[in-house]
Structure 1
C-alpha cells in the first residue's frame, strides 16, 4: 500500500500547494524482460503491443506473457543513443483496418531524422507497410527526435519532433521540421487547413514551432485542447497548450540553462511567444503523458499524469475546470526511470520502466473499488 505526497506547483507567475487527499494503490508487474520499452498500445481483443528502443515491436498476451519472437515486418531502425523505435499507435479505425502507426529514427549516424510508417498487423507480423512522413532535413548525431503522436477527432494526427540538439536555432526556422509539431492526414498527406499552408517559405506540415524535444502528447476531447510536454535543457521542462501556428519560443525563451550552466538566452518569456502552462525547474525529464478518466481512481478523474526519467517518478497534475492547480509525486518507491504512462482499457494506470530489463507495470487500488 502506497501513499502520495504533495509538492509545490510552479506555474508562470504563481505558486501553490494545496494538500490533496492521499490515495492508496498497489503496483503489479504485468510483464518484464523488455529492452528499454518506449511505448505501448492496447489491442481491442486483449493484450498489447510494446516498442523497444532497440528496434523491436513485442506482443504481450492479455495474461502478461511476453511472446519470445518479436513481430516481423518492421522497418530498418537506427539505434544509437536516443535514436531507436519510438511510438506504436493503433489507427482510430483499427478494429476494421488493422492499421498501426510507428515512429522511429531512420537513416545513418551522419544523416538521420524521425520517420513515420503505417502498416497492417495480422496478429503476428506487419504487412503492407508504407512510409508516411520523413522529417527534414537529415542531421548528424543521435539526440532529440521527439516521436510521440496522437490522433485528433478530425481524422488527422500530430507528431512531435525534436530540435536535433546541435541544431536548436532551427526550431525557429519554419523552412524545416526541426523542433516542431506536425499535423498530417492519416495517409500522410498534408491537411489543407494547416496554419502554414499558405506560407511559401514554411513547411506545410507544421502545426507549431519553437519546441526543443516533444515527449508527451494528449488531446483532451472534453475541452477540445491539445497538450504537449517537452524536455528543457538543464531545467525548463515545459507543459504547453498548443495553438495552431503558434511559436513556443525555444531557444529564444526558456526557464532552463545550458548543461554547462551558461545561459541559453536571458529571456524566460517574450511577448511574441506562447508561455508554458507549467515548467519544471530543476528538470524531471518528462517522458509520457495520459489524461485519466477516473475509472479505478475516481479522485483522479480529469487529471494529467506525466512520467519522468530523471525524476524517477510520475507527476499527477491536478486540474480544476481544466486548469492545473497542484501536482503530486507518485511511484518514487520504484526508483526507476519511467518512460511512459497510459490509461488502460480496464481504467488502471500502466507504466513502462526504462532499463535493459524494463517492465510493464499496472497500478490499481490497494483495495477493490
Structure 2
C-alpha cells in the first residue's frame, strides 16, 4: 500500500511554481449562475451546466445563459443537495444521451427522506429540454439528510473504448458514517452500473450474498471528485472531516477505510472512532491534506496547453481554500505539488479539461462563474 504524504511547508514533494502556474489567469466565460455544480462540453462549442437549486441550462460560447431546460426531475435542494453532476455519453454526437445525478426525494415509505440518484436522458435537437428521462440507479437506504451526496459520474473506458458502464460516487450522508463499512448499504461507496442500470457481471461483489452487487469500492466519506486517467484507472478525492481530505486511485473491491481510519478529526477537535490512521485490509490514500482544503472537482491534464510538466497531472478544486492545486504522481509517489491561483478567492466546485485543452472551472456562489484557465507562458 502507498505511503500517504501530508501537505505542509516542508513536504518534499512540494515544488516551486511552474512557469504555467506563474502565468495562469482565469478568464470569465459566463456569470450569473446560481451555485453551479458541473459543466459538460457540447460538440458545437457550447456548455451544459447544472445549478444546484435544480436547473440545467446551456451556456452559449459567448457566455449568454439560455433558459433552464425543461424535463429536469424534482430535486431536494437543501444543504448540499440538489441537481449535481452531469456528463455527456461518449457517443453524444450521435445519440444525444447524457447522465446526471441529483438528490432524489423519497416516495411512499421513504417520503421525507432522500438519496443520490443517477438518471439518463436525451437532450432534444434544439437543446431546450431533456427527453426520455429514466432513473437508472437509486442509493439505498434513503435518509432525511442534507449532507454528503457524493455524486460524481465517470464513464468507464477499457483500452480506450467505452465498456457500457458508469461509475458513481456516493457519500455516507454524514451522520450515518458507519454505513460506509456496511456492504449491504450504498452509503459511502463507489458503484458501477450499466448505462441502462444493469449490474455488470464482473463487479467485485456480484457473487456475494452479503453485499450489494453495484458496489465497486467502499469506505468513502464524501467523494466530490472523480476522473478516468488515459490508462483507464479511476482516480478520486473525498472530503475528510476536520483534516484528512484524500486522493485515491480506486481499485475494485477495496476498502478505503472511512470512518475506521482517517487523518482527520471531529469538527472542533477530538478523535474519530479509535483515532487510528492504519488498519490491515484498508487502503492508505496516495495523498492527504491536513488541514482540509475541501476538494471538489477533479481533472486529468492530457493537453499540451500548460507545458510538458503539467501533462499527466491532476488538478483539484478547493472549496475551503478557494484556489486549485496541481499534483503529479509517479506510480504511487507524489512528485510534484503546487498551488494554483491562490488569489482566486472563490469556492471552486468543478474542474474539467475542455475539448480545446484548456481547464474550465465553476465557482460555487449565488452569482457563480464559468472560468477558462489560460496562460501566457510560451
Q: TM-score, normalised by structure 1?
A: 0.93
State how far apart, in whole Å, the 2-side matches of 1:17 and 1:41 are: 31
8 A Cα contact 1:88 1:102, kept in partner: yes
Per the alignment, residue 335 of structure 2 pairs with 325
Closer/same/farther in 2, CA of residues 322 and 22 from structure 1, 3 Å limit: farther
State how far apart, in whole Å, the 2-side matches of 1:165 and 1:285 are: 15
Closer/same/farther in 2, CA of residues 321 and 276 from structure 1, 3 Å limit: closer
Cα displacement (A) at 1:15: 4.3
Cα displacement (A) at 1:320: 3.8
Matches within 5 A, 1:185-224: 185-222=194-231, 224=232
Partner deviation per Cα, 1:134-188 (whole Å, 9 max, x = no partner): 0000111210000001011122110000001010001000001000000011111
Per the alignment, residue 60 of structure 2 pairs with 61
Matches within 5 A, 1:1-369: 10=7, 15-23=12-20, 24-67=23-66, 69-107=67-105, 110-122=112-124, 123-153=127-157, 154-222=163-231, 224-265=232-273, 266-298=275-307, 299-320=309-330, 323-366=333-376, 369=378
Q: Which moved more, 1:31-40 or 1:255-264?
A: 255-264
Cα displacement (A) at 1:321: 5.6
Closer/same/farther in 2, CA of residues 37 and 247 from structure 1, 3 Å limit: same
State how far apart, in whole Å, the 2-side matches of 1:148 and 1:344 are: 17
Q: Which moved more, 1:319-328 or 1:200-209?
A: 319-328
8 A Cα contact 1:9 1:17, kept in partner: no
State how far apart, in whole Å, the 2-side matches of 1:188 and 1:141 are: 25
User: Secondary structure at the residue paired with 1:96?
Assistant: helix
8 A Cα contact 1:9 1:325, kept in partner: no
Instruction: Name structure 1 gaps, 5 residues minimum.
Output: 1-7
State how far apart, in whole Å, the 2-side matches of 1:97 and 1:193 are: 26
Q: Which moved more, 1:153-162 or 1:320-329?
A: 320-329
Say what the alpha-carbon RMSD is for the aligned residues. Answer: 1.6
User: Secondary structure at the residue paired with 1:332?
Assistant: coil
User: Secondary structure at the residue paired with 1:62?
Assistant: coil
Aligned positions, number: 357
User: Secondary structure at the residue paired with 2:235?
Assistant: strand
Cα displacement (A) at 1:10: 3.5
State how far apart, in whole Å, the 1-side matches of 2:295 and 2:112 are: 27
8 A Cα contact 2:98 2:120, kept in partner: yes
Per the alignment, residue 160 of structure 2 pairs with none
Cα displacement (A) at 1:260: 2.8
State how far apart, in whole Å, the 2-side matches of 1:169 and 1:180 are: 12
State how far apart, in whole Å, the 2-side matches of 1:321 and 1:175 are: 33
Moved over 4 A (4+): none
Cα displacement (A) at 1:294: 3.1
8 A Cα contact 2:262 2:277, kept in partner: yes
